[in-house]
Amino acid sequence: MRHITTNDTPTPILRGIADHSWQERGLCHRLPAEDIDALFFHAARDRAAIDEAKSICGQCPVRKECFDYALENEIRHGMWGGLTEDERRPWHAKVNKRLDYSRVKAAFEGRDIHLSDAERDAVTRHAYVRGWSPERLAHTLRLDLDWARDLMRNAAHAVADRDRYWDQAVEIEPTDDETAEGEDTAAPVQVPRQVQTDSLIAALRKAA
């Protein structure tokens, strides 16, 4: 008997920027407006409303899409994705630092999805390394051409700086005189490249 194994994982379904169809699949979609206000835009510390809303969100098939929508549109009031305002506050604070490579790959595949600042930088740097033109980057990220040129220029500087510092971060062997005199010979600290798996690099190259 032969067994076939694979390390491939299913690609997550990402919501496009203009895609609001997920809302129709929400369990709260057909609730009366007054119930929605009472449960999901409840008064502060209304534990009964919070608990009931969380029980609905916990079974909702579009809970993640709801959560992402609130983050991407800076919606801080009310319950979204099963989380209250206070529970979402740390996520709002760090959303622009999110680096999800499934989103980076989706951008290369032409998907119109919301990218954080870190994800946009990753797309731009990879596009620069692959020799993309500013026009192609502008089309992919749906940007003004001048803005795309600025991003490509910044990516060129970032890649050059990374490579220069990496090449300089080599171990320095002490000379005989320095060893004899007992001088400190600490090697410089290396600046590591961003860790990327072979499968990620292959996926990005294929998408580009």
How does pLDDT run across 68-80, given as a tens digit for each residue? 889 888 898 999 9
Instruction: Indicate if 42 and 78 belong to the same structural domain.
Output: yes
Residue 197 domain-assigned (yes or no): yes
Of 97, 124, 158, the residue at which a domain comes to its end is 97
Q: In DSSP terms, which residues pair with 16 in a beta bridge?
A: 113
Amino acid identity of residue 43, one-letter, is A
Higher pLDDT, 158 or 53: 53
Q: Give 10-53 pLDDT, tens digit per residue.
A: 445 676 766 788 899 999 998 999 999 999 998 878 999 999 99
Helix (H, G, I), strand (E, B) or coil at 186: coil
Taking residues 176-186, report their average pLDDT. Answer: 43
Instruction: Indicate if 78 and 108 belong to the same structural domain.
Output: no
Predicted pLDDT at 68: 86
Q: Determine contact, residues 104/204, Cβ cutoff 8 Å.
A: yes
Instruction: Indicate if 63 and 47 belong to the same structural domain.
Output: yes
Q: Which domain holds residue 81?
A: 21-97
Q: What is d(CA 48, CA 28) in angstroms, rounded to the nearest whole number? A: 17
Of 97, 127, 154, the residue at which a domain comes to its end is 97
Structural domain total, the chain: 2
Can you tell me which residue has the tokens 């490509």? Answer: 152
Higher pLDDT, 168 or 127: 127
Instruction: Indicate if 113 and 195 belong to the same structural domain.
Output: yes
